Structure formats: C-alpha cells, structure tokens
C-alpha cells in the first residue's frame, strides 16, 4: 500500500481519483439518459414552495466532502425534482428552448479546458472557434468581410453592447474621453412600443435616460410604424435633440412581429442613424426556408443581436452580437493595458477588445459542437418544425368558436384568448397549476391573453391538442 506524503494529499484533495472519475462519468451519463427519457412525464413546474426548498438545502456545507456518489444522489433526489422542466415539450412560456443533446458534454469539456477567451495566449483554438462561429452567424445574413462580433451571455447583453457601440460611433464628441455630459444635447434612440425591455434597460444603464427612448407605435400587425418613426426623428431634430440609433425587431418578444427592416434601413441611411436589429428571438429563423426572405434584410443593419441559446438550442448562456464594421465594436471596447500580453496582430481577434469582459468562458464551444455534431440541416429542420407547430396551433385556435387569435402568427409565438372573456388569466393559472403545461400571459392591444411560444424541437401537434383541449374544458367551467 502506497502512503501519500502531505504534498500529494493536498494536490489530490481537489481532484477525483480514477475510480471517482469513472463513477462521476457513469452517473452523469445515467442522469442525462434518465432525464431525457423522462422529460414528457416530468412535472413542468416543481411543487415545493420557496420555504420548503430553503429547508431542503438548509444543511451547512460539510467540512469534509460527501464524495461523488452522495453528491449525485443528492442531485437526483433534491435538485432534479425541483427544477422547472424547461425542455418539457409543453413548456411554452417565454422564449426559452431546451439544450440539444451534445451540449451538456460540450459544457463539461469547456469547463475542463477552462480557456479564458480574452486573448490569444489564453485561448488559442478557442479564439479561432469563436471567430468561426461568429462569422458563420454573420454569413447567414450575408454580412461583408468587415463584419465581426462576439459571443455574449445573451440578447440583453448584445443589445446593451450594440447601443454602446452606436453611441461611440454617432456621438458628436469623443464619447470615451469627454463623456455624455460633453454631448451638446440628449442622444435619442428609437424603437417600437413592442420592443423588448432590454432596450430600455440598456438605455438606462448607458446613461441615455428613458426620456430619450422613443417608443414608436406599431401597426395592426405589431410592426413599427415607419411614418411615425420618421415624424419622431423630425420632431426631435427640430427640438435640437440628437437622434443616433433605431432599434428594429426581427421577432418582437410578444408576437414575433418583424419590423419593416428595408424601410427602416433606408431611413437610417438617409438620416445617418445607427440601425440595430434585435434578433434575439426571431433572427435565427432565417434558417427556415419559408421565413428567410423576410429576415435577410437584417444584414442591412449596423449590428444585430442573436441568441443561439434560443433557436440553436445551446444551453444558457449563449448570445451573439454582430457588427457590420468590427472596428466600430473595437472602438467602443478596446483598452490597452500593459500587464496583458495581448499581441497587436491584426490577424488575431483578442476578444477582450470587443466587449466589457476581461475573463470570459468558452461559450462558443457548445455552439461549435452543436453545429459539428448535428449539422446545419438539423437546425433548419427544427426551425421549420417550430413554425409548423405554431401554424397548426393558430389553425386550431381559429377553428375553435370560443377562441381567437390576438395577433397574427409570424414566427412561433401564438397569442390568443377566449372570445369576449376577461378570464384568460384565471384559466391560464388553472392550466399551469394542474401541471398540464406552462404558457405565459401576454398584454396585447389593451387585453390580457395567453401566449404560447414554441421554441422546443420536441413539441408535437399532440402536445398542442392536449393544451387546447384542456384549456377549452377549463374555459367551459369558468
């Protein structure tokens, strides 16, 4: 029997032995298999309340670890049953998809490699992979060779960074040095009343002020009204304010409406405004043949936000910001520092120069692994499938005398309600409480309706039938 000296013991104390590694591997695979196979039967929402959950995790951390087997036992018994089953085929709330099959493995490997994706020396292959993923995403919209971008934590961060880049590009002063107070009048950003909250949030964070976010009304299809946008810009110029950016949506969060991108792009060109497209929800539907023509004009924007953690089924977190002129992104975020050995080689992309973070994880890896493992075609098929299912749901709702659509179904968001009823919220609450499905409420054109957003490649027509049949029953009893 070998005896370990103190150094060996300390070195090994945070490592797994060969036996533990094998156990952790097989228990992880077992857990993933069991989870995947039981998805449809799992409750969409757990039943324990917050107090019970606190109690469940009330025990102090052990001075001596519980070991691998006990850890996995606790994960299975305490954590798994108390998670929201986001991958459940009847989880249709928000815009949140399930992770694809290879992603848990990609995440584990990325954690082991622990690349710091800030500059070349700390992430050689990773930085090339991130560039490759970004340039593939940019190519979907035919962005030119000048384009570049960065993988972000999600659409909100991409929107924030886009607005910051736009400000640095369009402000009439050197914003970095002089700051906002040197700008002679407020900078104004334009978006629609249907824009995602992350736009206003970004404006607030960046010090633009919510008073300088114009929320332009939408038409009956929930698309930004170009005539009103034009008028708002004109009025602001007359008041000596400084219009600098328009944020259009390629898929609004509520209804999936696609703003009139070509007309907005032309207006922005005439008015010398930055055009940002918030494509976090919808832009990756460009993978679908039937929608791609409507989304292709996203490529006319100065920047676009995308969310691979939605339609590419990468697990959280994975967003992306693409900028038509990569150098403009760099202008907003690049800071030289003497203690970092980032090489000044134009062929290298040191990602620390393209965003606010220094230490950054290898988020591009799970996207790269997904595209490699399944191929682009699989994602095209998933996009078509989600559009098919939403169309089917819309057809069923239209055919049902007591139900009505509250908005046209352009992507995969279906907003509907009971005709002439004010009890949509109560009926939805019953459906959710009994665990049939998770759908969300939607506030639309002065009404509160029900919203299903199909962002899951597992959702089938039978799931939709089950949900609608049950809602109709609940509606009859209400």
Closest distance between ligand PLP and the C-beta of residue 449, in Å? 17
How far is 173 from 359, CA to CA, in rounded Å?
A: 30
Give 224's contacts (C-beta < 8 A, 6+ positions apart): 191, 192, 194, 216, 218, 248, 249, 259, 260, 264
Nearer CB in complex with ligand PLP: 164/198: 198
Residue 155 or residue 417: which is nearer to ligand PLP going by CB? 155
Question: How far is 411 from 250, CA to CA, in rounded Å?
Answer: 10
* For ligand PLP, the closer CB: 193 or 235: 193
d(CA 219, CA 205) in angstroms, rounded, equals: 29
Query: Which C-beta is closer to ligand PLP: that of 120 or that of 457?
Result: 457
Measure the CA–CA gap between 255 and 408, rounded to whole angstroms. Answer: 7
- Kindly tell me which of 280 and 431 has the beta carbon lying closer to ligand PLP: 280
Question: Is the Cβ of residue 159 or residue 436 nearer to ligand PLP in the bound state?
Answer: 159
Buried b (16+ CB within 10 A) or exposed e, 66-97: eebeeebeeeeeeebebeebbbbbbbbbbbbb
CB of 80 to ligand PLP, least distance (A): 24
**Of residues 109, 150, 147, the one with CA closest to residue 357:** 150
Q: What is the binding site for ligand PLP (CB under 6 A)?
A: 95, 154-156, 196, 198, 249, 251, 253, 278, 280-281, 307, 319
Strand partners, 277: 248, 304
Q: How far is the CB of 355 from ligand PLP (least distance, A)?
A: 15
| DSSP state, residue 315 | P
The nearest distance, CB 261 to ligand PLP, in angstroms, is 14
- Residue 351 half-sphere exposure toward CB, CA atoms < 13 A: 32
Closest contact distance (angstroms) between CB of 229 and ligand PLP is 18
Give 451's strand partners: 415, 440
Which lies closer to ligand PLP via its Cβ, residue 107 or residue 307?
A: 307
Minimum Å gap between C-beta 195 and ligand PLP is 8
When the beta carbons of 260 and 475 are compared against ligand PLP, the nearer one is 260
CB of 397 to ligand PLP, least distance (A): 22
| The token pair that represents 400 in the structure block | 């049902």
Distance CA 56, CA 48 (A): 10
CB of 236 or CB of 278, closer to ligand PLP: 278
* Token code pair at residue 262: 């070509």
Q: How far apart are CA 258 and CA 334, in angstroms?
A: 33
Q: How far is the CB of 160 from ligand PLP (least distance, A)?
A: 9
Whole-angstrom Cα distance, residue 393 to residue 229?
33
Is residue 276 within 8 Å of 247, Cβ to Cβ? Answer: yes
For residue 153, the minimal CB distance to ligand PLP (Å) is 7
d(CA 97, CA 88): 9
Phi, psi of 291 (to 5 degrees): -110, -15
C-beta of 16: minimal distance to ligand PLP in Å?
33
- Angle subtended at Cα 163 by Cα 160 and Cα 164, rounded to the nearest 5 degrees: 85
The rounded distance, in Å, linking the Cα atoms of 72 and 59 is 16
For ligand PLP, which is the closer residue by CB, 277 or 474? 277
């Amino acid at each position: 029997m070998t005896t370990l000296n103190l150094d060996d013991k300390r070195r090994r104390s945070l490592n797994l032995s060969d036996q533990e590694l094998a156990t952790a591997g097989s228990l992880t695979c077992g857990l993933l298999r069991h989870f995947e196979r039981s998805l449809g039967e799992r409750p969409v929402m757990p039943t324990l309340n917050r107090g019970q959950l606190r109690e469940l995790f009330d025990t102090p951390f052990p001075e001596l670890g519980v070991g691998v087997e006990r850890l996995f036992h606790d994960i299975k018994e305490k954590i798994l049953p108390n998670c929201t089953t986001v991958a459940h085929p009847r989880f249709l709330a928000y815009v949140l998809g399930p992770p694809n099959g290879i992603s848990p493995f990609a995440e584990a490997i990325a954690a082991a490699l622990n690349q710091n994706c800030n500059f070349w020396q700390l992430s050689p292959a990773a930085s090339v992979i991130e560039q490759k993923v970004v340039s593939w995403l940019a190519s979907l919209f035919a962005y030119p060779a000048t384009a570049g971008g960065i993988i972000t934590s999600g659409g909100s961060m991409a929107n924030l960074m886009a607005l910051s880049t736009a400000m640095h590009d369009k402000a009439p002063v050197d914003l970095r040095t002089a700051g906002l107070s040197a700008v002679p009048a407020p900078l104004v950003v334009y978006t629609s009343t249907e824009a995602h909250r992350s736009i206003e949030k970004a404006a607030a964070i960046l010090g633009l002020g919510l008073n300088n976010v114009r929320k332009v009304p939408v038409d009956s299809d929930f698309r930004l009204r170009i005539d009103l946008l034009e008028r708002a810009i004109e009025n602001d110029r007359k008041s000596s304010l400084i219009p600098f950016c328009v944020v259009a949506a390629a898929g609004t969060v509520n209804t999936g409406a696609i703003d009139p991108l070509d007309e907005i792009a032309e207006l922005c060109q005439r008015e010398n405004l930055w055009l940002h497209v918030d494509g976090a929800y919808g832009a990756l539907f460009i993978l679908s043949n039937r929608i791609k023509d409507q989304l292709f004009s996203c490529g006319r924007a100065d920047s676009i936000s995308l969310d691979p953690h939605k339609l590419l089924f990468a697990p959280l977190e994975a967003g992306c910001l693409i900028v038509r002129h990569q150098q403009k992104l760099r202008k907003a975020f690049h800071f030289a520092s003497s203690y970092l050995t980032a090489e000044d080689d134009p062929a290298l992309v040191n990602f620390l120069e393209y965003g606010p973070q220094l230490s950054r994880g290898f988020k591009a890896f799970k996207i790269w692994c997904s595209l490699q493992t399944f191929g682009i075609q699989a994602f095209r098929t998933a996009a078509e499938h989600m559009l098919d299912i939403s169309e089917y749901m819309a057809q069923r709702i239209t055919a049902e005398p007591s139900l009505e659509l509250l908005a046209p179904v352009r992507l995969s968001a279906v907003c509907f309600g009971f005709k002439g009823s004010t009890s949509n919220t109560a009926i939805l609450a019953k459906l959710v409480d009994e665990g049939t499905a998770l759908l969300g409420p939607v506030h639309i054109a002065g009404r509160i309706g029900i919203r299903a957003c199909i962002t899951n490649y597992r959702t089938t027509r039978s799931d939709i039938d089950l949900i609608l049949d049950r809602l109709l029953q609940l509606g009859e009893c209400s």
